[in-house]
Amino acid sequence: MSSYAPSSPLLPWPDLEVYDCNRAKFTEEQLKPYDGQWVAFSSDGSRLIAGAFDLLELDRLVQQAGLQMEDVWLESILFPGTQMQPSYFPE
Amino acid sequence: MIRFSYQVEKPSNPSSQLVPVGKPGRLRPLLPIRLFGPTGRFHRYRPAVADTGSVDSLFPSLAATVLRVNLQTTTSQSTNWRGSQFPLRWGRVEMELSSATEIYRWSAVVGFTSAPLPYPLLGLAGFFEFFDATFRGADHQLELTPVHTFPGTIQAVP
């Protein structure tokens, strides 16, 4: 092993089985408005916190909802025929 | 060793010829991953895709902005995504995988690109260089075992 030291403690992850079970309950009709967007789901997958076409805007919306990006899972929503929008490097 | 079951890609892509009978969509080796910036902020992606065809591990450019990753100075490098070229810059991050029993964290240089990636790509550099991988096709599972030179930390889940 190397001399690498993690920058923060290694903490247990949220239960992904719970997340997947709840996340799977979202219907295509519920997700369709977020087509082509990055979406933040709550840690347990039960709530869709926000969606945006780029991660900077999503970060803002998640904070507006009283959360941090560390509190959510990120996923892109893509229906057939849709592509994500190109991103960019802010100056 | 850490094992991941392939995940159904949703919404399903009807053009795929790989949708197994009785499954709602295409099964792919999609993994959950945490990406840490230098300030301790992190993103949790579910999913990222294990992509042995990608030379590098790639994340959306704005992830670097949100996580305040120090990007190397602008270069002329680019990545080819679906026939188009997009700018590519590099930055050092930490990545983390977890199973029910163990957590793996390591430091790596990954690419950030403005290409319209639907998922982060976990490629050879930054990811597969640190794991022996077995794609168990019949079982739809990916097994990852850290290489003996794994440059990170492995911790048992309490």
Give residue B100's pLDDT.
83
Give the start-to-end residue ranges of the domains of chain B: 2-156
Interface probe, candidates A1, A3, A4, A10, chain B, greatest B C-beta count within 10 A = A10
Neighbours of B70 (CB within 10 A): 11
Q: Is B60 helix (H, G, I), strand (E, B) or coil?
A: strand
Q: Is B142 helix (H, G, I), strand (E, B) or coil?
A: strand
- Cβ contact, residue pair A16, B46, below 8 Å: yes
pLDDT surpassing 80 at residue A7: yes
Tens of pLDDT, residue by residue over B149-158, are 999 999 998 7
**Helix segments in chain B, DSSP class H:** 61-66
Give residue B60's pLDDT.
96
The answer to whether B101 and B33 have CB atoms below 8 angstroms apart is: no
Q: Is B61 helix (H, G, I), strand (E, B) or coil?
A: helix
- Cβ contact, residue pair A83, B151, below 8 Å: no
Taking CA–CA distances from B96, the nearest residue in chain A reads A10
Q: Which residues of chain A lie closer than 8 angstroms to B47, CB-CB?
A: 75
DSSP-derived letter for residue B125 is B
Pick out chain B residues at pLDDT < 50. Answer: none
B92's tokens? 């050092």
The answer to whether A73 and B46 have CB atoms below 8 angstroms apart is: yes
Calculate how close chain A gets to B138, using CA atoms only, in Å. Answer: 22
- Cβ contact, residue pair A2, B13, below 8 Å: no
- Cβ contact, residue pair A87, B36, below 8 Å: no
pLDDT surpassing 70 at residue A2: no
- Of A2, A13, A55, which is closest to B62 when you measure between CB atoms? A55
Give residue B32's pLDDT.
96
Give residue B86's pLDDT.
94
pTM for this entry: 0.93
The answer to whether B96 and B105 have CB atoms below 8 angstroms apart is: yes
A2's tokens? 């190397």
Taking CA–CA distances from A8, the nearest residue in chain B reads B40
Q: Is B97 helix (H, G, I), strand (E, B) or coil?
A: strand
Give residue B76's pLDDT.
77
Looking at the complex, does the CB of residue B119 fall below 8 Å from at least one CB of chain A? yes
Tens of pLDDT, residue by residue over A35-88, are 999 999 999 999 999 999 999 999 999 999 999 999 999 999 998 888 899 989
Give the DSSP per-residue string, chain A: --S---SS---PPP-HHHHHHHHTT--HHHHGGGTTEEEEEETTSS-EEEEESSHHHHHHHHHHTT--GGGEEEEEE--TT--PPP-----
Q: Quick check: ipTM above 0.90?
A: yes
Rounded to a whole number of angstroms, the distance between the first and last alpha carbons of chain B is 17
Report the distance separating Cα A88 and Cα A29, nearest Å: 30
Percentage of chain A beyond pLDDT 90 is: 79
B40's tokens? 């301790």
**Helix segments in B41-148, DSSP class H:** 61-66
The CATH class for the domain spanning B2-156 reads mainly beta
Give residue B64's pLDDT.
96
A71's tokens? 């509190």
pLDDT surpassing 70 at residue A11: yes
Give the start-to-end residue ranges of the domains of chain A: 16-77
Looking at the complex, does the CB of residue B36 fall below 8 Å from at least one CB of chain A? yes
Calculate how close chain B gets to A66, using CA atoms only, in Å. Answer: 16
B56's tokens? 């590098």
Looking at the complex, does the CB of residue B44 fall below 8 Å from at least one CB of chain A? yes
The answer to whether B59 and B112 have CB atoms below 8 angstroms apart is: yes
